[in-house]
Structure 1
């Protein structure tokens, strides 16, 4: 059922990247040759996955900011609560923390709908502040994301699938973090790479033997 004709939803950090950082260049040709739509699904701000699609040489089809932004074939959908995220940032600064990351804050400079917060900020405190503003916190393993509880990668995937006129269940998803768990639930088949956190591993259909981008390549190989 699942093959090179299956649409893909792929996370970036920890999935497309190498252990020492940076996107694995071996992926570029593999993804350019894929026969079905590819959606890059990430917690990164909107600009990053769009740029990545451009450099890979695939159509701009992205779920960014954990579902807060969906951009598929020139159709842009923005959800979430940017005003609430800004209020959380203001509270962090008032309490002596960075309003996300230390300046210059490149994690949030182009962010549309949520707030990325350094893991140096105490998690319990952050969750309390976020809840006071109607927001939730998801831990990507690289940063905390303060976002609307109404959006996630699964809501983004369903929107992207609608725009592509394909069934979400036809997708194969590949990721590594808790923010990929809802995405795994929304698709027909899911892979957690070997370095994935416990939440992602528990919700995935398959756990690869290899980690990071090698695990992604292993998943792609299993579909060919």
Structure 2
């Protein structure tokens, strides 16, 4: 039997140029166990992907701020405090970095995402002035201003319990520091080869290949009943 999965999206189910890899639509629709999509993106993105995969909508969005178990949505975090940090950052000359694109934060409910090209030093300096109730997480694709007690790992505990499973029954695959908490709760964890130092250090195994190349190899091995490494 295949294990339940908790999968990051960006950098894990994608190509190096940020497209969803078509192998996702070959490997995941028939996966005979729950598949949780756990991402830093806003809620509509993983729900849409689950829909097109023909999977139950088991979703962790906004780095754990939004959880959906197919029936009930759970929201956690302090978006007002996050926006206060961002507004102070903007007042001091910062920029969200998305140009005219407002879709990045349009549906975001618990945090704020800024482009990876913004002034990180200034952003972290402003966030520090707001004290321990807020943090900045670098996912490699964006800086997320979020509540520190919100995480993908904590969300996995909540979602797994709601569907009658233990977090330790899951296999996790990811690529960045926001996946560390997931790796800590899952029974087995794999970092793709393009993973940052935090994810690579926290994973049980680092795969030989990056992006969906690594994830596909791991899923194929799990499907065939052999170790991915």
Q: TM-score, normalised by structure 2?
A: 0.92
CA distance in 2, matches of 1:208, 1:142: 20
Partner of 2:196: 197
* 1:40-55 equivalence runs, <5 A: 40-55=37-52
* 1:80-95 equivalence runs, <5 A: 80-95=77-92
CA distance in 2, matches of 1:202, 1:209: 15
CA distance in 2, matches of 1:149, 1:131: 12
- 1:144-168 C-alpha deviation (Å, 9 max, x unpaired): 1110001111011111101111001
Q: TM-score, normalised by structure 1?
A: 0.94
- How far is 1:100 from its partner? 5.9
Partner of 1:120: 117
CA distance in 2, matches of 1:39, 1:77: 15
Partner of 1:75: 72
- 1:99-143 C-alpha deviation (Å, 9 max, x unpaired): 463333221111110010122222232122223332101110111
- Given that 1:176 and 1:192 are in contact with CA atoms closer than 8 Å, whether structure 2 keeps it comes out as yes
Match of 1:34 among 31, 36, 42: 31
CA distance in 2, matches of 1:104, 1:29: 31
- 1:16-45 C-alpha deviation (Å, 9 max, x unpaired): 001122111122131111111000000001
**Cα RMSD for the two superposed structures:** 1.3
Judge which range, 139-148 or 91-100, deviates more.
91-100
CA distance in 2, matches of 1:132, 1:161: 36
- How far is 1:212 from its partner? 0.4
